[in-house]
Amino acid sequence: MTTAEFNQCVDEHSNGVYRFILKNIRDEDKAKDIVQDSFEKMWLKVNEIEYEKSKSYLFTAAYHTMIDAIRKNKNQSELNEVAFNQHSYTNEYLGLKDILNKAVDKLPEIQKSVLLLRDYEGCSYEEIEKITNLSVSQVKVYIYRARVFLKNYIGSLDKVI
């Protein structure tokens, strides 16, 4: 891949990669760091990557970098999160988007990742297969299970509104 193609890849895919990572980890600064690390990894191998496969490589690098960051920070939690969120209750209506985001956050990491790649970023099953190192059938199963969970969690639209 040439430098011009790399720059074009950055222009075309940086927002999508950032959205994907941000939806998964919910921390803007960490998401920016992960995206930057992913582009750095891609730059180091720019001569080995074909432009046609740059999107898949970039999402794969971002996914693996995100997983590493999650594992690294797994045992750490913020005081605010532990002390206040577990014991608070609010009776106000949050809105459908907030309810959906809460439901997505309750999914296991792998289901959350494949669902976001498919439904939010519009990746094909084959692209998700390459990004996550799962088979296409596993990807379909995880997406199905995630959608069933979301359907059961949210319930009917009449109950939400």
Picking from 31, 47, 76, the residue at the C-terminal end of a domain is 76
- 5 assigned to some structural domain: yes
- 83 assigned to some structural domain: no
Please provide the average confidence, as pLDDT, over all residues in the chain.
81
**Per-residue confidence band for 81, with pLDDT thresholds at 50, 70 and 90:** very low
**Per-residue confidence band for 137, with pLDDT thresholds at 50, 70 and 90:** very high
For residue 92, the model assigns a pLDDT of 54
Provide the CATH number for the domain around residue 27. 1.10.1740
pTM: 0.60
User: Whole-angstrom Cα distance, residue 47 to residue 19?
Assistant: 27
**Per-residue confidence band for 76, with pLDDT thresholds at 50, 70 and 90:** low
Alpha carbon 147 to chain centroid, angstroms: 15
Average pLDDT of 130-151?
90
Please answer whether residues 99 and 154 qualify as being in contact, where contact means their C-beta atoms are separated by less than 8 angstroms. yes
Residues 57, 100 within the same domain: no
Residues 58, 31 within the same domain: yes
DSSP class of residue 86? Answer: T
- Which region holds residue 70: left if phi is over 0, alpha if psi is between -120 and 50, else beta? alpha
Residues 59, 127 within the same domain: no
Please answer whether residues 41 and 66 qualify as being in contact, where contact means their C-beta atoms are separated by less than 8 angstroms. no
Residues 6, 39 within the same domain: yes
Residues 152, 99 within the same domain: yes
* Number of domains comprising the chain: 2
Residues 37-69: pLDDT tens digits? 988 988 888 888 888 888 888 888 888 888 888
Q: Which domain holds residue 132?
A: 93-161
